[in-house]
Amino acid sequence: MNTAAGYRPETLGAHPPYDHPSYTSTHKRAPRHPPVRLEHTLSEITGPRFAPDNLNDLTHFDGGAALGERIIVTGRVLDEDGRAIPHTLIEIWQANAAGRYAHAEDRHEAPLDPHFAGIGRVTTDDRGAYRFMTVKPGAYPWRNHHNAWRPNHIHFSLFGPSFATRLITQMYFPGDPLLALDPIFNSVPDRAARERLIATFDIEVTIPEYALGYRFDFVLRGRDATPALS
Which residues in 91-130 contact other proteins (CB under 8 A)? 91-93, 95, 101-103, 105-106, 117-121
Catalytically annotated residue among 7, 23, 130, 140:
140
Nearer to other proteins, 51 or 203 (CB): 51
Q: Which of 2, 22, 54, 200 binds other proteins (CB under 8 A)?
A: 2
Q: How far is CA 93 from the centre of its chain?
A: 9
- Respond yes or no: is residue 155 known to be catalytic: yes
- Respond yes or no: is residue 140 known to be catalytic: yes
- For other proteins, the binding residues in 51-70 under the rule CB under 8 A are none
In 3D space, the residue among 70, 115, 91, 2 whose CA is nearest the CA of residue 213 turns out to be: 70
Stretch that binds other proteins, among 1-9, 62-70, 124-132, 207-215 (CB under 8 A): 1-9
88 scored as a contact of other proteins (CB under 8 A)? no
**Extended strands (E) in 39-147:** 54-55, 60-61, 64-65, 70-79, 89-93, 119-123, 129-135, 140-142
- For other proteins, the binding residues in 7-46 under the rule CB under 8 A are 9-11, 14-18, 20, 23, 25-46
- Respond yes or no: is residue 196 known to be catalytic: no
In 3D space, the residue among 55, 60, 59, 61 whose CA is nearest the CA of residue 71 turns out to be: 59
Inter-CA distances, 146 with 100, 151, 152, 182, Å:
19, 15, 18, 12
Catalytic residue positions, numbered = 101, 140, 150, 153, 155
